Structure 1
């Protein structure tokens, strides 16, 4: 099955929200947890 035949079940807005959450967790909250 080619990649173009696969369904895309996430909207661009949903993807942006996931990226923002990942950035918040990985770049902001995680360093705080690791430091303590």
Structure 2
């Protein structure tokens, strides 16, 4: 059960990291368009 909770936690962290990365990429892309 402990291993399962660790895998679940890892998946949640991975999804959050991917979302954050996408937001950062969009932010920099908009910055480049403004310049």
Q: Map 1:1-36; keep pairs closer than 5 Å.
A: 11-26=3-18, 28-35=19-26, 36=28
Unmatched segments (≥5 aa) in structure 1: 1-9
- Show CA shifts across 1:1-36 (max 9, x none): xxxxxxxxx70000000000001111x201111112
CA distance in 2, matches of 1:32, 1:13: 27
| Gap regions ≥5 residues in structure 2 | 29-35
| Alignment TM-score, normalising by the size of structure 2 | 0.60
4+ long deviations beyond 4 Å:
none
Cα distance in 2 for residues equivalent to 1:22 and 1:32: 14
